[in-house]
Amino acid sequence: MSPRKRVAVQDRDDPAAVLGPRIRARRTELGLTLKQLAVMSGLSHPFLSQLERGLARPSVVTLQRLAHSLGTTTYMLLAPKAGPTRIVRSDEGMLPSEGDDGNLGGNQRSLTATADRIRALETRGGSASWGPSKAVQPGQVLIYVADGCVEADVAGERHRLRSGDTIVFDGRLPHDVRNANGSETRYLSIWIP
């Protein structure tokens, strides 16, 4: 029986694809050799070499020992590759306002790019009446009042929020926000699916 051939991991979404290079980068950043890291972590030098090349996968306990020896966390070793950094300038992201039949009104601008998982809207002014229907979406919703006063209706329970107040709730609950302070109101709505 021939020995099993080891193949390096190629899938970029596979945690092992980022683990090896991150271990190597952290080890070299600390000025450690593979043998020094082996002594510090109690793991074998050949295993660490295979791990860095994507030819081996550590157990959870082994990963925790390795992270501790490298002065980092398992999350930092396994976290998905960071996406690009985006900036939305103060004069960008304007959205059309809805008319009298909508529940948004006022001036709105998106604070995030369309490719971002998180969604954030800044509303200035906004409608003083409740919309014809309540929003429902998966994930969590955060509303922060920067200036003025708003009322948030979450599943039929109304909350008055003033400047500096925040409300966080499950987006699956029917919800709506209305301006309770005229044109001087400015609030942020953030949704994380």
- Residue ranges per structural domain of the chain: 15-78, 94-192
pTM of the model: 0.55
- In the predicted model, is pLDDT for residue 77 greater than 60? yes
Round the average pLDDT of the chain to a whole number and report it. Answer: 83
For residue 121, give the H/E element and its range: strand 119-124
CATH 3.30.56.10 at 94-192, yes or no: no
Q: What is the spatial distance between Cα 150 and Cα 123, in angstroms, rounded to a whole number? A: 11
Res 151: pLDDT? 95
**pLDDT-based confidence at residue 102 (cuts at 50, 70, 90):** very low
Calpha distance 154→72 (Å, rounded) = 40
User: Residue range 173-185: average pLDDT?
Assistant: 88
Q: What is the DSSP letter of 172?
A: T
In this prediction, residue 126 carries a pLDDT of 79
Q: For the residues of 31-55, what is the DSSP string, one character each?
A: T--HHHHHHHHT--HHHHHHHHTTS
* CB-CB contact of 57 with 16 (8 Å): yes
Report the topology of domain 15-78.
434 Repressor (Amino-terminal Domain) (1.10.260)
pLDDT at 94 over 60: yes
